[in-house]
Amino acid sequence: MKVAQILYSGLGGHGSVAFSLSGADRDKQWQLMMGFFGIEPLSVAYAETCRRQDIPYRYFRVVSGRQWRSWPKVLRWLEENRPETVILHSITALLPCWWYARRNGGRLVAVEHTPNLVKTRNEWVFSVLAMWLADRVVMLTPVYRAEMREALGWWYRDAKVRLIPNGIDTRRFAPVNAPDPETKGKVRLGMAARFVANKRQDSLVAMMDQLRRRRPDIAWELNLAGDGETWKAVETQVRASGLEDCVELTGHLDSDRLAVWFQSLDIYLHASVGETLSTSILQAMATGLPIVGADVPGIGNLLTGEHICGVLVPDSTPEGFCAAVSSLWDNPAERRQLAHAARRLAVKEYSQESMFERYHALVMESLSE
């Protein structure tokens, strides 16, 4: 079965989900192709992964605010390859995908990745259109679905919506027998995310200044993995604060290096304005890390739902993160309990194999209609 996935061209959650689906398809039930659509250049890591996995791909450069200029190229690509199903992660490419599916009897599955709190007006328009034009709309969490139902009102189409949480490779992202941080003489903290304004890496840098003054008895280290538009601003903040000796900006890490990076941490941090279902938090959970995260939709419901997997900080404030990290470090039993609960939940609910099975069942259900 031919399946085309269309996703954002820059590094982020789209790619993690798309390539996790590919990695979980061990029996090659899908003949997969990738379309990368966005204002950023095509990620070198994405291109290398496609070549390594022998996945045909195409990059569609988008001019900001003028996505429609790239729609004809997307449509031609789909017409040339004739996939039976299009899984659309980048929802602003909705219209050419819908037109292709309508003309060729294909099926269109739209995936809602963007947190509702940070959606632009343009993105809300496409969310409404997806309810009408897509055969199925995938949402990642019950909380997100409830938000969409309330926000869209009459436009919401419950019969089309399916809940499929993101999944990650729980064998690659797994705990290791690391040295006890009590004996290492230092505490390593980290966050992995794109550097954009709503991720609030700046708040964690400010936290480090407070931690060093509040707890000078501990050698704190903060490592921020990822890249993006606010990277330079955060780098400038680190230098201006005199924190070069304890804050490192690692840049982008491929999946193998990222797994090792997670295993090097003692506590995972995630500051954000809002999330849908953060892949980085899932990877930290699978690695068996205690987590301190912002108390916002998409994080709060994941870490403190039925299973308590982390500590929440109101509003991503530096003061809140400083207090939470300091308190958690003073309680080794709580750290171990959170870490074990996180690993158990990740393996049970958020494996890439489980995600693929759900997507495959959804595709087959849609095709059978």
Residue 244: inside a domain, yes or no?
yes
Q: Is the pLDDT of residue 238 over 80?
A: yes
pLDDT in tens, 139-178: 998 889 999 999 999 999 999 999 999 888 899 899 987 6
Whether residue 70 is predicted with pLDDT greater than 60 in this model: the reply is yes
User: What pLDDT is stored for residue 256 in this prediction?
Assistant: 82
Both 76 and 145 in one domain: the answer is: yes
Tokens 């095709």 belong to: 367
- Tell me how far CA of residue 369 lies from CA of 5, 99, 104, 110, 185, in angstroms: 21, 18, 15, 17, 61
**Span between the terminal Cα atoms of the chain, in Å:** 16
28 and 135 part of one domain? yes
pLDDT mean over 19-43? 92
What's the rounded mean pLDDT across residues 42-65?
92
Kindly indicate the confidence band of residue 37, based on its pLDDT and cuts at 50, 70 and 90: very high
Q: Please check the confidence at residue 29 and state whether its pLDDT lies above 70.
A: yes
Mean predicted confidence (pLDDT) in 280-291: 94
pLDDT at 207 over 80: yes
So what's the pLDDT on residue 47?
93
**Residue 17 maps to a domain:** yes
| pLDDT for 179 | 57
Quote the CA–CA distance of 220 and 185 in Å, as a whole number.
9
Residue 369: band (very low, low, confident or very high) from pLDDT cuts 50, 70, 90: confident
Structural tokens at position 192:
């992995």
Is residue 52 one of the residues assigned to a domain?
Answer: yes
Position 135 scores a pLDDT of 95
**Mean pLDDT, the chain, as a whole number?**
91
For the chain, how many structural domains are there in total? 2
Is residue 32 domain-shared with residue 125, that is, in the same domain? yes
Residue 260 lies in a domain: yes
97 and 11: one domain?
yes
Q: For the chain, what is the HEC assignment? A: CEEEEEECCCCCHHHHHHHHHHHHCCCCCCEEEEEEEECCCCCHHHHHHHHHCCCCEEEEECCCCCHHHHHHHHHHHHHHHCCCEEEECCHHHHHHHHHHHHHHCCEEEEECCCCHHHCCHHHHHHHHHHHHHCCEEEECCHHHHHHHHHHHHHHCCHHHEEECCCCECCCCCCCCCCCCHHHHCCEEEEEECCCCHHHCHHHHHHHHHHHHHHCCCCCEEEEEECCCCCHHHHHHHHHHCCCCCCEEEEECCCHHHHHHHHHCCCEEEECCCCCCCCHHHHHHHHCCCCEEEECCCCCHHHHECCCECEEEEHHHCHHHHHHHHHHHHCCHHHHHHHHHHHHHHHHHHCEHHHHHHHHHHHHHHHHHC
The mean pLDDT of 193-219, rounded to a whole number, is 91
Prediction pTM value:
0.81
The predicted structure's pLDDT at residue 51: 95
Q: Are residues 243 and 290 in the same domain?
A: yes
Q: Are residues 105 and 219 in the same domain?
A: no
- Cβ–Cβ contacts within 10 Å for residue 368, how many? 7
In a domain, 156, yes or no: yes
Contacts for 7 with CB less than 8 Å, ≥ 6 apart: 14, 15, 17, 18, 34, 35, 36, 37, 89, 90
Q: Determine the pLDDT at residue 43.
A: 87
pLDDT on residue 181: 57
| Claim to verify: residue 160 and residue 309 sit in the same structural domain | no
- Residue 184: is its pLDDT beyond 70? no
Q: Is 162 in the same domain as 125?
A: yes
147 and 52 together in one domain = yes
Interval 352-368 mean pLDDT = 91
> So what's the pLDDT on residue 15?
87
**Closest C-alpha among 239, 234, 232, 279 to residue 255:** 279
Tell me, yes or no, whether 173 lies in a domain. no
Q: Looking at the predicted structure, is the pLDDT value of residue 183 above 60?
A: no
Tell me how far CA of residue 153 lies from CA of 113, 128, 156, 158, 318, in angstroms: 19, 10, 6, 11, 37
Can you give the CATH number for the domain in which 11 is found? 3.40.50.2000
The reported pLDDT for the residue numbered 138 is 96
Residue 49 burial (CB count, 10 A): 20
Q: Tell me: do 112 and 252 sit in the same domain.
A: no
- Both 25 and 140 in one domain: the answer is yes
Full domain range(s) for residue 272:
181-349
Decide if 174 is inside a domain.
Answer: no
Residue 275 lies in a domain: yes
Mean pLDDT, residues 243-263 taken together: 89
* Distance between CA atoms of residues 234 and 193, nearest Å: 13
Q: What is the arithmetic mean of pLDDT over 225-251?
A: 91
Is 199 found in the same domain as 327? yes
